[in-house]
């Protein structure tokens, strides 16, 4: 699942340096890892993005979601790139994110996160929604067995079309076409 929200950061600090933000995203992977991703409005680095990431979450109330943070992912212009995008550095961390609101109702009013990495560097932010509905997308991972079956069916279909075209080029009569196509496909 991927959900994006618009609004503003009342506070966004990384090691006592203040930043601004106007949107955040929440993601939950099939493996169980979740994260709040914050693109920073950093005048020195257009690719500066932080993600508060964890695997343990709880929802004791319909309106409150808590995610225990065990790592921070940090992308910046100085990171190595793959396909033109920076790879994140992964830093072990301890912290928590709290979200007020509900994805199912597409209403999240706020998100607050705080985390400290092993070297003592502190990340924290408070986000307030602008009231716009959040955008929720479900992303499915393709099942390789299903994809393999589709590929085989498509290959057979393409072969059948080639044999039909060959029958038309050779002027095979409609009454003899099925037998011709079957023999062509066996070859």
CA 87, 17, 92, 110: dihedral to nearest 10 degrees? -90
> 5-63: per-residue pLDDT in tens?
999 888 999 988 898 888 899 998 877 899 999 998 888 887 789 999 999 888 888 88
Prediction pTM value:
0.71
Closest CA to 124 of 37, 14, 27: 14
Count of alpha carbons within 13 angstroms of residue 32, beta-carbon side: 5
Any residues with CB less than 8 A from the CB of 13 and at least 6 apart, and which?
A: 19, 122, 123, 124, 125
Mean pLDDT of the chain: 87
Confidence label for 72 from pLDDT (cuts 50, 70 and 90): very high
Position 63 scores a pLDDT of 87
Length of the chain equals 187
Q: What is the pLDDT of residue 117?
A: 94
Question: Residue 108's pLDDT is what?
Answer: 86
pLDDT given at position 149: 76
Phi, psi of 115 (to 5 degrees): -150, 150
Taking only the tens place, the pLDDT of each residue in 154-175 is 778 778 888 888 898 999 998 9
Q: What CA–CA distances, in Å, run from 144 to 32, 76, 97, 174?
A: 20, 33, 34, 39
**pLDDT tens digit string along 92-142?**
999 999 999 877 777 888 999 999 999 999 999 999 999 888 888 777 666
């Amino acid at each position: 699942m991927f959900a994006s929200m618009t609004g503003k950061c009342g506070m966004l600090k990384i090691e006592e340096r203040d930043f601004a933000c106007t949107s955040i995203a929440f993601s939950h992977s099939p493996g169980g890892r979740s994260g709040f991703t914050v693109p920073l409005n950093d005048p020195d680095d257009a690719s500066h993005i932080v993600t508060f990431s964890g695997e343990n979450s709880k929802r004791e109330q319909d309106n409150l979601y808590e995610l225990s943070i065990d790592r921070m992912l940090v992308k910046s212009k100085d990171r190595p790139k793959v396909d033109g995008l920076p790879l994140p550095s992964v830093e072990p961390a301890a912290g928590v994110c709290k979200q007020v609101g509900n994805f199912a109702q597409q209403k999240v009013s706020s998100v607050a996160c705080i985390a400290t990495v092993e070297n003592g560097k502190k990340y924290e932010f408070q986000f307030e929604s602008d009231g716009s509905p959040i955008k929720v997308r479900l992303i499915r991972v393709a099942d390789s067995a299903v994809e393999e079956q589709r590929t085989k069916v498509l290959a057979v279909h393409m072969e059948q079309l080639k044999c039909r075209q060959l029958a038309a080029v050779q002027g095979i009569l409609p009454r003899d076409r099925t037998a011709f196509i079957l023999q062509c496909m066996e070859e």
